[in-house]
Amino acid sequence: MVEAAPKELPAFLHPGIGFMMGDGNPEHGASPTPTQRFKEYDPEWARVWADDTANAGCDHATMLGQVKAPVPLTHHFHMTDPDTGQLMGAMTDIQAAQALGLMESTGRPVTFQSLDAPHTMHTSMAQQYADIVTEWAKTLP
């Protein structure tokens, strides 16, 4: 996968390949070999997220506007490639604000946290992520 990634993934994702794959550079937080999840990685999964077909048929505004339970919303690493306009991450700041507003319009409690953390915080910062979820759970009735 390390060799295939530059060919299979869109160019705007290339800066993160070494970090994601384990390029052996400790300055990048990488291990010398790819993690198990990347040894079994399906490039088609990356493609459907990169070209947005993963969201086909999903009206996010309608879905978020129908929230029926309390929601923790954390916003992690995100950037927009200045050359292509492609988003790297789950959502922009504007999208996070829109999602928050849609969910809050339901009257259900929404806890929002913007974090200086990688997209995969639940893996690389597992304890901090668990602490956030645990603290949020304490606010539930």
Q: How confident is the model at residue 32 (pLDDT cuts 50, 70, 90)?
A: low
More confident of the two residues 1 and 4: 4
Which runs of E-coded beta strand occur in the chain? 71-75, 78-80, 87-89, 110-114
Q: How many CB atoms are located within 10 Å of the residue 132 CB?
A: 19
Q: How confident is the model at residue 1 (pLDDT cuts 50, 70, 90)?
A: very low
Tell me the pTM.
0.68
Letter for the amino acid at 23? Answer: D
> Residues 45-58: what's their mean pLDDT?
84
Which residues, in sequence order, are bridge partners of residue 132?
none
Helix (H, G, I), strand (E, B) or coil at 111: strand
Q: How confident is the model at residue 23 (pLDDT cuts 50, 70, 90)?
A: very low
Look at residue 138 in the predicted model and tell me its pLDDT. Answer: 96
Residue 47 CA to residue 54 CA, distance in Å, equals 9
Q: How confident is the model at residue 133 (pLDDT cuts 50, 70, 90)?
A: very high
Which runs of E-coded beta strand occur in 6-137? 71-75, 78-80, 87-89, 110-114
> Residues 103-131: what's their mean pLDDT?
91
Q: Contact 76/89 with Cβ under 8 angstroms?
A: yes
Residue 18 CA to residue 93 CA, distance in Å, equals 25
> Residues 93-101: what's their mean pLDDT?
94
